[in-house]
Amino acid sequence: MKTIIERIDTVQLNIDTIKKAGDILKSGGLVAFPTETVYGLGADALNEDAAKKIYAAKGRPSDNPLIVHIADMEALGKITETIPEKAIVVAKKYWPGPLTMIFQKTNAVPLGTTGGLDTVAVRMPEHLIAKEIIRAGGGYIAAPSANTSGRPSPTTAQHVEEDLTGKIDMIVDGGAVNIGVESTILDMTVEPPMILRPGAVTKEMLEELIGEVAVDKTLIEPDSKKVPKAPGMKYRHYAPKAELTVLEGDLLRVTEEINRRAEEKLSEGFKVGIIATAETAGRYSSGNVKCIGTRQDEMTVAGNLYGILRDFDSDGTDFIYSESFSTGGIGSAVMNRLLKAAGHHIIHV
């Protein structure tokens, strides 16, 4: 398959590109496009055959349900059985934005889109290109992250090209995304509502609006034998090719321990990568040191995480050592992805 790649300006939208993307989606094809979280791989969510193509292109297990993307509130009624009052409150504040909510689905949504579940995940992104493509494509666009299953999610169109060129109809290149980790997933079918995946809309932000919010225990106790409620969270996602170890504890001791381990592996002839921060980068004496952002603003860390993991992959890195981050705010989304990438290999120093 030939993949059309078109660059589009975020300020002066090229209507022809949007229309081309919309036509491909309406005829059952696959289009990758930017959202503010990560790039998505879109297909018509109400067309079972189109949604199925997503699984083939990504190599995604078919029990892993897709998020349906909408562009306005009016679209919600057709695909959801009931909309709880709390969901309306949350939507008013955080839609459009980096938040997905789960509802009971109607028959309009095929089981092929929801991985056989009778619930549907819905997100209204804020990114202008995403909104326009959703509208042009018919209003209901299923879109997982536009990566090959098991690779870090794409935060640039180049990442999408690496994984999906030749497998999808079109890539709309709108430049780098601004958040860099996937949306928060909030299950509205349970009481209290439950976070199934942490993201930029945090537990604290949601609780301020609607009171108690639960968190899927398997996110906090990753070693527990329980299966996560979001089917996709059980796979070893976001996996770099290198063996990744996260070190936690007093920052000075963490950097010392990373230096010690890095030197050991280097002397054995391995390629070593280090995930450092602006505050610590100068303390590392060897290895390929990449600065992921500043501890003063962990949004910068979220923005660079997946790109850095991909860079280490293309450098042929064997071992990666990373500092750890806070467990509040966006830090919990970062730590969730980092620990999954590490296969929960964390060392307390």
| Least spacing, CB of residue 258 vs ligand TXA, in Å | 30
| Least spacing, CB of residue 38 vs Mg ion, in Å | 8
| Least spacing, CB of residue 160 vs ligand TXA, in Å | 11
Q: Which residue is nearest to ligand TXA (CB)?
A: 232
**According to the binding rule CB under 5 A, does residue 280 interact with Mg ion?**
no
Q: Is the Cβ of residue 99 or residue 272 nearer to ligand TXA in the bound state?
A: 99
CB 233 within 8 A of CB 219: yes
Partner that binds at residue 309, options ligand TXA, Mg ion, none, CB closer than 5 to 8 Å by kind: none
| Least spacing, CB of residue 229 vs ligand TXA, in Å | 6
The H-or-E segment that residue 276 falls in is: strand 272-276
- Residue 90 CA to residue 301 CA, distance in Å, equals 26
Sign of CA dihedral 149, 151, 157, 160: negative
Using CB under 6 A as the criterion, which residues of the chain lie in contact with ligand TXA when the complex forms?
Answer: 35, 37-38, 40, 64-67, 100, 102, 114, 117, 119-121, 123, 143-145, 182-183, 185, 196, 229-233
Question: Count of CB atoms within 10 A of residue 348's CB?
Answer: 9
Partner that binds at residue 117, options Mg ion, ligand TXA, none, CB closer than 5 to 8 Å by kind: ligand TXA
* Residue 131 identity: K
Structure tokens at 85: 């009052």
| Least spacing, CB of residue 33 vs ligand TXA, in Å | 9
Q: Is the Cβ of residue 196 or residue 341 nearer to ligand TXA in the bound state?
A: 196
Question: Count of CB atoms within 10 A of residue 234's CB?
Answer: 15
What residues contact 27, with CB distance under 8 A and at least 6 apart?
none
CB 304 within 8 A of CB 321: no
Among 47, 113, 145, 189, binds Mg ion (CB under 5 A): 145
Q: Is the Cβ of residue 157 or residue 247 nearer to ligand TXA in the bound state?
A: 157
Structure tokens at 87: 């969901």
Give the residues lining the site for Mg ion (CB under 5 A). 145
